[in-house]
Copies of this chain bind each other. A is one copy, B any other.
Amino acid sequence: MCKNTPLACSLYLHHPFVTLLLKKDDLQKRSVCSCLSTATQTSANIRQHLPARMKKKLILDVDTGVDDAQAILVALADPNVEILGITCCHGNTPLDNVLKNTLRVLQAANRLDIPVHAGCDKPLLAPAAQEEWSESLDKMINQNPGEVTLVATAPLTNLAVAVQLNPKISKKLKALYIMGGNTESRGNTTTCGEFNFVADPEAAYIVLERYTCPTYIATWEFTCRNSLPWSWCDKLLAQNTPKANFVKAISLLSNKKAQSADYQNEITEGKGFNSCDTYALAAAINDKLITESQEVAVTVELEGTYTRGMMVLDYMDLLKKKHKAVIMKTVDKEKLKQMFMNSVK
């Protein structure tokens, strides 16, 4: 039944370009979910370059917009990656749309066998109660102790709730990769705040305090500075494969806006194609991607008129935190390009 979900090229674009093209009732969530829960992970089209036990086990926590979609495709393209499941979080678009978008990406890649789970539909301190929460994140990590790399490209609500429910998952993770936060008070949503952190500052705080596994962060400024040339992006989208056409269709509006004068002047420091979520994902599956990084203790400002949600870097070690995060600085752009190319083949 899932296979019959219409493949409209209407994925929601990343903020601040979120456009809701789909009607609410398009989403047959109930059937989708039952479909997902019975789906097996033995899809025939997984190229098994490595024995299953040696593959990199990944859980993706997403709020699927354009760049999450690109990141998912990059993950699906790697034969040595096993995606245990995808948990969805409020963020770019309401949770229902995140679920739908995620399913469409999997459908475009013919990988609807991968479990998709609904997570939190509201930030931790939202005024209204959320509807439901899946415990799947906890279960997947517990069933694979020490083996799972968690990649979070959404607000960190799901991860915060998971670690409150079961504090031990932090030690059971192999590593955590986050797209979010900023290093130089350069806001893209509020004056000093990055979208994923501002969308749930308490969640970001809890995650940075309690996930004591190795933690790698792709910040907003990092992704801007390491963006790819638009000319190369055009080449990627012109590959004329089904997946390239899918990415082209969903990127149309966001790329146009990202190249507008307004956006260039106001929001980014680096010009170019910036699929920000993909940096976190790509770093998680390729240890050689990041060519320069810095270890520093980080936390999140929870108060502040202009700075609530801003990531704080403790260069002077005033906070005396033992756990440091690895802040990505530069990527091997050729490797990144190759991963993108593979993702649309």
Contacts and interface: CB of A to CB of B under 8 A. Distances in A.
A27 interface: no
B133 A164 contact: yes
Contacts of A302: 125, 302, 305
Contact of A266 (B165, B304, B317): B317
Interface stretch (A63-71, A145-153, A183-191): A183-191
A10 interface: no
Contact of A315 (B266, B313, B318): B266
A175 B187 CA distance: 29
A44 to B, nearest CB: 37
Contacts of A129: 163, 167, 170, 209-210, 212
B206 A125 contact: yes
A141 to B, nearest CB: 14
Given A190-B318, A191-B319, A312-B191, A125 B306 contact: no
Nearest to A138: B165
Contact of A184 (B163, B183, B308): B183
A267 interface: yes
A206 B124 contact: yes
A202 B316 contact: no
B191 A185 contact: no
A135 interface: yes
Contacts of A266: 315-317
Residue among A170, A188, A312 with the highest chain B CB neighbour number at 10 A = A312
Interface string A164-176: 1111101000000
Given A167-B130, A184-B184, A312 B307 contact: yes
A25 interface: no
Given A125-B202, A302-B305, A315 B186 contact: yes
A307 B267 CA distance: 21
A35 to B, nearest CB: 23
A163 B126 CA distance: 12
Given A133-B166, A165-B161, A307-B307, A187 B299 contact: no
A191 B318 contact: yes
A101 to B, nearest CB: 23
Given A190-B318, A191-B318, A192-B301, 12 more contacts: A120-B164, A131-B167, A132-B166, A132-B168, A161-B165, A165-B165, A184-B186, A185-B312, A191-B314, A266-B315, A301-B304, A301-B305
18 contacts: A120-B164, A125-B202, A125-B205, A127-B321, A128-B209, A129-B167, A129-B212, A130-B164, A131-B167, A135-B165, A191-B312, A191-B316, A266-B316, A267-B315, A301-B306, A302-B302, A304-B305, A306-B312
